[in-house]
Amino acid sequence: MEKPKVVLGVSGGIAAYKACELLRRLTESGHDVRVVPTEASLNFVGAATWSALSGNPVSTEVWESVHEVPHVRTGQAADLVVVAPATADMLAKAAHGLADDLLTNTLLTARCPVVFAPAMHTEMWEHPATQENVATLRRRGAVVVEPAVGRLTGADTGKGRLPDPGEIFEVCRRVLARGPGVPDLAGRHVVISAGGTREPLDPVRYLGNRSSGKQGYALARTAVARGARVTLVEANTGLPDPAGADVLRAGTAVQLREAVLKAAEDADVVVMAAAVADFRPAAYATGKIKKKDGQEPAPVALVRNPDILAEVAADRARPGQIVVGFAAETDDVLANGRAKLRRKGCDLLVVNEVGERKTFGSEENEAVVLGADGGETAVPYGPKEALADTVWDLVAARFG
């Protein structure tokens, strides 16, 4: 079988050195990679490095080997183009169709999926010019992964770091696996909650649950690869941020509600995969509750938490917003699931049977996805990403 052809575009940012690791992962996993650096990027990593690591010739401009028409052929032949790092300048050029070197020409001639992994200072990323360029690229079907938050060049920290090369590689792998064509969540904003809330009793104790967050993270990763802008609201997962998603953190149900409602304001889809505590302690003790000799502990009074899913579904921030819930059940799984779907007012409900190997902490899951339209889709036991993809298939079908 022929190796998938990947063009790795490298634009001029300090994070160019991390693209060496991405290149290594791509070549070692059986991809034929052609590196197309911009002239500016050669200040950070030289052509010799790219050539040696890829085993292919490297050029930056269109005036070499002109008889082979490289400015057209390189893009035409590719199964995937990934630009990492993508600078603010590169995003602007790509959004406006400028073509003054081999990489920008390649972006115009490529008909395969394109992934941009931006890296720049926070101010440049947040500038309306950059944000509009990113929105334009996403609307056209490019996968633009959100930059990571952390240490930037110099002493600064903030949003703008190139995500971990291993994570970018995973995005590329998923995008390639989906094949050609515009990704079906392109231009959509999806909000996903993941993990389990913790309701504090005193500074050292909380009421919590066993949710690992893995299903929510699988939803986030697969949505990124399908072209969506992804906001992940996570509660107590301790998992590394998935590349490409904007990650917000919440501890309690009340905090999760606030973050989800805010993010949902301009969302096309809201997926409540988090296990939200139904109750919280009525009172929070500011000092540790101590045991007293000869006395039984005082009972813990609980109060109801808001039902975020029901609230989002009842009060949709946008017409046509699609709301997806999850339900973990132990008995009468389908009947309880149907009743819950109606009660919560969501469009889709992913119903898990809670069991030994399944659901909590596991890499695998098995579920039935119920639709408000009466639909019922069984997802056999398998990776959580497969279930995630089925959820997105059903969501995308509802966009029509």
Which lies closer to ligand CTP via its Cβ, residue 45 or residue 191? 191
Say whether residue 370 binds ligand CTP (CB under 6 A): no
Q: Decide if 244 contacts 226 (C-beta within 8 A).
A: no
**Position among 117, 276, 313, 341 found at the interface with ligand CTP (CB under 6 A):** 276
Alpha-carbon distance of 99 to 179, in angstroms, equals 26
CA distances to 135, 137, 138, 194, 276 from 187, rounded to whole Å, are 7, 9, 5, 22, 29
Which lies closer to ligand CTP via its Cβ, residue 54 or residue 215? 215
Consult the annotation and say whether 307 binds a ligand.
yes
- Interacting residues with ligand CTP between 333 and 352 (CB under 6 A): 340
**Position among 45, 185, 233, 327 found at the interface with ligand CTP (CB under 6 A):** 327
Which lies closer to ligand CTP via its Cβ, residue 152 or residue 269? 269
**Position among 81, 107, 272, 313 found at the interface with ligand CTP (CB under 6 A):** 272
Cβ 355 to ligand CTP shortest distance, Å:
15
- Interacting residues with ligand CTP between 307 and 326 (CB under 6 A): 307-309, 325-326
CA neighbours closer than 13 Å in the CB half-sphere of residue 308: 32
Cβ 211 to ligand CTP shortest distance, Å:
9
- Mark the segment that binds ligand CTP (CB under 6 A) among 114-122, 234-242, 273-281, 388-396: 273-281
Cis peptide, bond prior to residue 85, ω within 30 of zero: yes
Which lies closer to ligand CTP via its Cβ, residue 58 or residue 328? 328
Consult the annotation and say whether 159 binds a ligand.
no
Which lies closer to ligand CTP via its Cβ, residue 58 or residue 194? 194
Consult the annotation and say whether 384 binds a ligand.
no
Consult the annotation and say whether 306 binds a ligand.
yes
Which lies closer to ligand CTP via its Cβ, residue 314 or residue 397? 314
Count CB-CB contacts under 10 A for residue 55: 10
Say whether residue 328 binds ligand CTP (CB under 6 A): yes
**Does the annotation count 352 as an active-site position?**
no
| Catalytic pick among 209, 236, 352, 365 | 209
Alpha-carbon distance of 391 to 200, in angstroms, equals 33
Alpha-carbon distance of 262 to 191, in angstroms, equals 10
Consult the annotation and say whether 288 binds a ligand.
yes
Cβ 307 to ligand CTP shortest distance, Å:
4
Which lies closer to ligand CTP via its Cβ, residue 6 or residue 274? 274
Question: Hey, which bits of 140-244 come out as E strands?
Answer: 143-144, 148-151, 157-161, 189-195, 199-202, 205-207, 229-235
Query: Both tokens of residue 396?
Result: 């995308």
Cβ 220 to ligand CTP shortest distance, Å:
15
Residue 340 CA, distance from chain mean position: 27
Total binding residues toward ligand CTP, as defined by CB under 6 A: 14
Cβ 317 to ligand CTP shortest distance, Å:
15
Q: Decide if 122 contacts 154 (C-beta within 8 A).
A: no
Amino acid at 159: K
Count CB-CB contacts under 10 A for residue 290: 7
Consult the annotation and say whether 344 binds a ligand.
yes
- Interacting residues with ligand CTP between 220 and 259 (CB under 6 A): 253
- Mark the segment that binds ligand CTP (CB under 6 A) among 23-31, 282-290, 306-314, 377-385: 306-314
Which residues in 108-131 are b (16+ Cβ under 10 Å) and which e? ebbebbbbbbbbbbbebbeeeebe
State the alpha helices, DSSP H only, in the chain.
16-28, 47-54, 70-77, 88-96, 102-109, 122-126, 128-139, 165-178, 214-225, 253-264, 308-314, 333-344, 384-399
Alpha-carbon distance of 383 to 89, in angstroms, equals 39
Active-site positions read: 209
By the criterion CB under 6 A, which residues form the site for ligand CTP? Answer: 253, 272, 274, 276, 278, 305, 307-309, 325-328, 340
As annotated, the binding site for CTP includes 278, 288, 306-309, 326, 340, 344
